[in-house]
Structure 1
Amino acid sequence: MLDSRRNILLACALSALAGYVDGIGFLHLGGLFVSFMSGNSTRMGVSLAEGDWQPAAQAFGLIVLFVVGAAIGSLIVRSRSRYCQCWILLVEAALLAAAGLCHVRGFPQAAIAAIVLAMGLENAVFQIEGSGGLGLTYVTGALVKIGQLMAVALTGGPRFGWVPNLLLWAALVTGSVIGAGVYLRINLAAIWFAAAVAFALGAMLAMGARARKD
Structure 2
Amino acid sequence: MQKNREIVQRSESFPIGVLLALTGGFLDAYTYVSRGGVFANAQTGNMVLLGIRLSEGAWRQAAYYFVPIVAFAAGVLLAELIQKKHKWNAGLHWRQRTVLIEAAVLLAAGFVPSGKLDSGVNIAISFVCAMQVESFRKIHGLTYATTMCTGNLRSGTENLFQYLKSGEKKRLRNSLKYYCIIVVFIAGAFLGCCATKLFGEKAVWSTCIFLLGAFLLMNQETEQEKKGKTH
Calculate the TM-score normalised by the size of structure 1: 0.84
CA drift at 1:34? 0.7
Higher relative contact order (CA 8 A, sep 6+): 2
Q: Report the Cα distance in structure 2 between the residues aligned to 1:56 and 1:127, rounded to whole angstroms.
A: 30
Q: Which position in structure 1 is the counterpart of 2:108?
A: 98
Q: Report the Cα distance in structure 1 between the residues aligned to 2:173 and 2:212, rounded to whole angstroms.
A: 32
Q: Which position in structure 2 is the counterpart of 1:16?
A: 22
CA drift at 1:176? 0.3
CA drift at 1:33? 0.4
Comparing 26-35 with 162-171, greater Cα deviation is found at 26-35
Q: Report the Cα distance in structure 2 between the residues aligned to 1:23 and 1:99, rounded to whole angstroms.
A: 15
Instruction: Please tell me the residue identity of whatever aligns with 2:28.
Output: D
Q: Which position in structure 2 is the counterpart of 1:116?
A: 126
1:27 equivalent to 2:37? Answer no
Q: Report the Cα distance in structure 1 between the residues aligned to 2:95 and 2:137, rounded to whole angstroms.
A: 9
Instruction: Please tell me the residue identity of whatever aligns with 1:135.
Output: A
Instruction: Compare CA radii of gyration and give the structure with the larger one.
Output: 2
- Of the three residues 62, 67, 90, the one matched with 1:61 is 67
1:80 equivalent to 2:87? Answer yes
CA drift at 1:208? 4.3
- Of the three residues 148, 158, 161, the one matched with 1:148 is 158
Per-residue displacement from partner, 1:127-154 (whole Å, max 9, x unpaired)?
Answer: 59xxxx6421001100111221111111
User: Where in structure 1 are there 5+ consecutive unaligned residues?
Assistant: none
Instruction: Please tell me the residue identity of whatever aligns with 1:177.
Output: F
Q: Which position in structure 1 is the counterpart of 2:177?
A: 164
CA spacing shift, 1:181–1:166, aligned 2, 3 Å: same
Per-residue displacement from partner, 1:23-47 (whole Å, max 9, x unpaired)?
Answer: 1001123432011101111111111
CA spacing shift, 1:116–1:159, aligned 2, 3 Å: closer
Secondary structure of 1:206's partner? coil
Q: Report the Cα distance in structure 1 between the residues aligned to 2:66 and 2:51, rounded to whole angstroms.
A: 10
Q: Which position in structure 1 is the counterpart of 2:4?
A: none
Q: Which position in structure 2 is the counterpart of 1:187?
A: 200
- Indicate if the aligned counterparts of 2:51 and 2:62 stay in contact, CA closer than 8 A: yes
Q: Count residues with an aligned counterpart.
A: 205
CA drift at 1:70? 1.7
Secondary structure of 2:156's partner? helix
Secondary structure of 2:219's partner? helix
Q: Which position in structure 1 is the counterpart of 2:3?
A: none
1:49 equivalent to 2:59? Answer no
- Indicate if the aligned counterparts of 2:106 and 2:208 stay in contact, CA closer than 8 A: yes
Calculate the TM-score normalised by the size of structure 2: 0.79
Secondary structure of 1:64's partner? helix
User: Where in structure 2 are there 5+ consecutive unaligned residues?
Assistant: 1-7
- Indicate if the aligned counterparts of 1:27 and 1:180 stay in contact, CA closer than 8 A: yes
Instruction: Please tell me the residue identity of whatever aligns with 1:170.
Output: V
- Indicate if the aligned counterparts of 2:144 and 2:178 stay in contact, CA closer than 8 A: no
Q: Report the Cα distance in structure 1 between the residues aligned to 2:54 and 2:118, rounded to whole angstroms.
A: 25
- Of the three residues 169, 191, 194, the one matched with 1:178 is 191
Instruction: Please tell me the residue identity of whatever aligns with 1:61.
Output: V
- Of the three residues 195, 211, 218, the one matched with 1:205 is 218
Q: Report the Cα distance in structure 1 between the residues aligned to 2:121 and 2:62, rounded to whole angstroms.
A: 20
Instruction: Please tell me the residue identity of whatever aligns with 2:81.
Output: L
Secondary structure of 2:13's partner? helix
CA spacing shift, 1:208–1:86, aligned 2, 3 Å: farther
